[in-house]
Amino acid sequence: MLTLSYEYKLEPNQLQISMIEQTLGVCRTVWNYALRERKDWINSRKCPVNACSIEQEYLIPADEPYPSYSRQAKALTEAKKNSERLKSVNAQVLQQVLRTLDRAFSDMRARGFGFPRFKNKYRLRSYLIPQLKGEVLKGNQVKLPQLGWVRFRKSRDIPEGFKVKQVRVIRKASGYFVMLSLQLDVDVPQPFPHGHPRGLDLGFDKFVATSDGLEIKRPRFLESLQRKLKLLQRKLKNKKKGSNNRHQLNRKIARVHQRISDTRKDWHFKLAHQLCDEAGMIFVEDINFRSWQRGMLSKHAADAGFGQFVNILQWVCWKRDVYFAKVDKDGTSQECSQCGANTGKKTLDVRVHHCPECGYIGSRDVVSAEVIRNRGLSDLGQGLDIKQIACGGDLTGMEATSSSQEPETGNLVARLGISHNSA
């Protein structure tokens, strides 16, 4: 099953805009009520068995079961019978809100995420329609529950044969958008190792350095608009909370942030396509970029968007039939790419690699990218000679393919009509 996501800008009328805002408001109410119910149940179990608080206490029976998704969904069905506001929103949309909340609690326990937070109108900006019936698309219009036919800017055609399975309506600073989840019943094979290998090293000084010697400086997306952002945020302090002037100023600030985000994402896509040119294999370090956003470099890490770039690169590699893999990150700046000797730890001010064993001298970032490439090839070759593979030796059990040829996956993606800038 092949799944794609296409995003278009909506052009709703005033009635449809008010209905979208009403749906977002009801979803926010359901989220906050369900979260409050879960928090109250959890806090009621924190009281010591031999004493109660002298300030306040939760009056929840000891035998009251935990408000799981199934219980809250059943309670929501009963509440819709007596509430006209809940009836005005599609039932599956509200159930999807409860599923998202339940998944947030699961991620908190399993993946160490923070406790789910209450949502105001700035935090909850989208809702999901999980199922659609009948005709969904007609020209430049999409049919949505409660909204009817809504016009959108058809900036690109939908590939032939794909069906719309889910729809997400998103409110951004620049307007309303619709994200279509498209599916096609076809199995697309994963790219296999072939062609020219390329290792990538990400960093703060140079955004990316390749094993071919290419070094790309990190753009300052935030710094380019930081002065304008500071002036707007300084004015925000003098605006009364809840006033129309404060709301309008918040929208201006949000538009600046969206411009920064869109510029960063566009640059990431263009760079990913550039790196895939004339490459059959791409290797990167397996890094937890969340840890990079802690400490004194957190602002620069968030501005660079390393995690988003790696996700985009993986998608572009799959679409262009380039093999993508992650390798062990430990010691890439300490190992020599020519002889494999350990040169010891380097401080951040040392930008040149010098191996005392073989005498190899090169840029620190480029040498790290070469080590990443060698590790990726070593994992594929299962112990074969690294230099032989890097020079074009055949991989065991794999058919060599020139990077100028168009393998099976690339032909299939081309036949489906998927544009190179799709996400």
Same-domain pairing of 325 and 395: yes
Burial of 187-202, coded b for 16+ CB within 10 Å and e otherwise, reads ebeebbbbbbbbbbbb
Residue 52 is assigned to a structural domain of this protein: no
Question: Does residue 49 lie in a domain region?
Answer: no
How are beta strands 197-202 and 281-285 bridged, if at all? parallel
What is residue 49's predicted lDDT score, i.e. its pLDDT?
A: 62
Given 128, 157, 184, which residue is the final one in a domain?
Answer: 184
Note whether residue 50 is domain-resident.
no
Residue 422 inside a domain? The answer is no
Domain co-membership, 391 together with 248: yes
Contact 209, 351 (CB under 8 A): no
Residue 341 to residues 213, 261, 353, 354, 357: CA-CA distances in angstroms?
21, 41, 12, 11, 7
Q: Which residues pair with 327 in a beta bridge?
A: 285
Residues 6+ apart with CB under 8 A from 26: 85, 86, 88, 89, 94
Q: Is residue 385's pLDDT more than 80?
A: no
How many structural domains is the chain composed of? 2
Report helix, strand or coil for 173.
Answer: coil
106-127: average pLDDT: 89
**Tell me, what's the pLDDT at 52?**
66
203 Cβ contact list (under 8 Å, min separation 6): 209, 218, 365
CA distances from 120 to 29, 30, 91, 187 (A): 9, 12, 21, 41
Q: Is the pLDDT of residue 389 over 50?
A: no
For residues 148-175, give the mean pLDDT.
91
Q: What are phi and psi of 346, to 5 degrees?
A: -120, 140
Q: Would you state the pLDDT for residue 242? A: 84
Predicted pLDDT at 397 = 33
Residues 36 and 163 in one domain: yes
Which stretch of 64-78, 269-283, 309-323, 406-420 has the lowest confidence by average pLDDT? 406-420
What integer best gives the mean pLDDT of the chain?
Answer: 85
The pair of three-digit structure tokens given for residue 280, joined into one six-digit string: 């059959």
The domain of 299 spans 197-416
Residue corresponding to tokens 């404060």? 246
The string of pLDDT tens digits covering residues 241-269 is 889 999 899 999 999 999 999 999 999 99
pLDDT at 259: 93
Task: Output the pLDDT for position 409.
Answer: 42
